């Protein structure tokens, strides 16, 4: 990109001065000279919208630049770009749609907004001839959106496997490394600021699901309905299964899985999964994120970094600001989303296929394994390995039965588990998780 000899001033309106918004304000100011040299744009944050004018903040904003009404950003003729960091869906949708209609470029980090109403917004952006930038919506400081849009534009995306929620990854890491129970690990995550006071969106898996929807829609060119996404969180993961998984050579991670089959149907799901210890994803710990993208030309690529936090996420917002400024200087690019899979369809979750981990508590008597194997075999589900750990703290006369199952459709596995739980020799509700070989 040629940098123009004359610098152009680009004025920005910032909606939201929370953790990420404060980082954007701070880091744009700190690195303004560097950004100007690299892009030819003098980024100036002219106005900032907040909910509470009197709230103490880590950054100092001139009083005359503060407002509580985002419409002032839209109505200011000097503002070229609006950054939406207020969160939520309804008000954010109104802000973004109004900004687009006013011909303002939009930068947003709002994953829930894009997952639930992205199709409407990108259609409006196309109609208005104004782009939306959204790198910060997925995986914090990892430039995964730009990678899918530009770096891998010549590839058919075969699959994406991602650890895309830092809170859940921190919880599972502490359960694995420190032997904490789920509640203790969650409390520690809250104490350290990795989890919100109300962690429901994270631990339920829906934060990761919103991100997976965005990645899937970009990869396959049609918008995924949240109703077509299978979501499980980490709130039911037991320390016992993490220990058993370790003994079998696996780590438990909350994975977002996006994959197209041969007929163009796309599965999008988020759930705790067993990942082989030999794979790099198994070594992604703490609050870090990682995304593995497999393309038909490039093969497997791995993107790793901090998935949340003030500086990593503000870095992605600033990257988008620079791209937006470049589009003003050199001409607009596409709206932010290019449809290219008009005939793609979501794949029903019951038809998705994977390996499985199954744990049962059964009577310690002969013939139990044969009964279980029969019910699996009737549904054409093979058993790849069996383990019966001894010396466990179980009720008298019982023993754990661990099984690794071959590839099978989810419906067949659920039917088999339902039948197995009807056996008189099975004492407790079965525990199962998917296994992702990642080969």
Residues serving a catalytic function are 211
Q: What is the DSSP letter of 149?
A: I
Question: What DSSP line would sit under 239-276, residue for residue?
Answer: HHHHHHHHHTTEEEEEEEEEEE-TTSEEEEEEEEEEEE
Distance CA 11, CA 42 (A): 8
Q: Is the Cα torsion angle 346, 351, 354, 359 positive or negative in sign? A: positive
* Residue 350, token pair as written in the block: 């019951």
* Residue 151, token pair as written in the block: 């770096």
Distance CA 269, CA 290 (A): 16
Closest CA to 124 of 99, 145, 146: 99
36: left (phi over 0), alpha (psi -120 to 50) or beta: alpha
* Residue 116, token pair as written in the block: 């639930």
- Burial of 422 from C-beta contacts in 10 A (0-12 / 13-18 / 19+): exposed
Residues in Cβ contact with 347 at an 8 Å cutoff, skipping those fewer than 6 apart: 261, 265, 266, 267
């Amino acid at each position: 990109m040629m940098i123009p000899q004359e610098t152009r001033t680009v004025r920005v309106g910032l909606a939201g001065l929370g953790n990420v918004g404060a980082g954007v304000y701070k880091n744009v100011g700190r690195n303004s000279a560097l950004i100007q040299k690299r892009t030819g744009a003098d980024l100036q944050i002219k106005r900032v919208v907040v909910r509470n004018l009197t709230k103490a903040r880590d950054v100092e904003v001139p009083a005359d630049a503060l407002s509580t009404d985002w419409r002032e950003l839209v109505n200011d003729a000097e503002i070229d770009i609006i950054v939406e960091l207020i969160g939520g869906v309804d008000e954010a949708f109104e802000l973004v749609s109004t900004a687009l209609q006013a011909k303002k470029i939009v930068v947003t980090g709002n994953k829930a907004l894009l997952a639930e109403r992205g199709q409407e917004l990108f259609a409006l952006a196309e109609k208005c001839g104004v782009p939306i930038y959204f790198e910060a919506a997925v995986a914090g400081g990892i430039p995964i959106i730009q990678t899918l849009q530009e770096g891998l534009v010549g590839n058919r995306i075969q699959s994406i496997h991602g650890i895309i929620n830092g809170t859940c990854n921190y919880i599972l890491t502490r359960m694995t490394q420190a032997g904490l129970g789920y509640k203790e690990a969650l409390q520690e995550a809250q104490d350290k600021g990795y989890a919100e006071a109300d962690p429901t969106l994270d631990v339920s898996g829906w934060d990761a699901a919103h991100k997976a929807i965005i990645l899937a829609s970009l990869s396959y060119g049609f918008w995924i309905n949240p109703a077509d996404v299978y979501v499980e969180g980490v709130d039911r993961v037991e320390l016992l299964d993490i220990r058993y998984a370790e003994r079998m050579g696996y780590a438990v991670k909350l994975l977002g899985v996006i994959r197209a089959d041969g007929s163009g149907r796309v599965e999008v799901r988020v759930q705790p999964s067993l990942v082989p210890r030999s794979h790099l994803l198994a070594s992604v710990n703490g609050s870090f994120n990682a995304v593995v993208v497999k393309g038909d030309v490039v093969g497997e690529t791995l993107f790793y970094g901090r998935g949340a936090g003030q500086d990593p996420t503000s870095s992605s917002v600033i990257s988008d600001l620079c791209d937006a400024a470049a589009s003003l200087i050199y001409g607009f690019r596409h709206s932010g989303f290019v449809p290219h899979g008009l005939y793609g369809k979501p794949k029903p979750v019951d038809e998705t296929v994977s390996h499985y981990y199954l744990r049962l508590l059964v009577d310690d008597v002969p013939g139990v394994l044969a009964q279980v194997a029969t019910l699996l075999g009737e549904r054409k589900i093979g058993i790849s390995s069996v383990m019966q750990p001894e010396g466990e703290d179980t009720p008298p006369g019982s023993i754990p039965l661990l099984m690794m199952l071959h590839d099978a459709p989810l419906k067949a596995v659920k039917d088999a588990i339902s039948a197995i739980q009807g056996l008189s020799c099975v004492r407790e509700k079965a525990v199962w998780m998917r296994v992702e070989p990642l080969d």
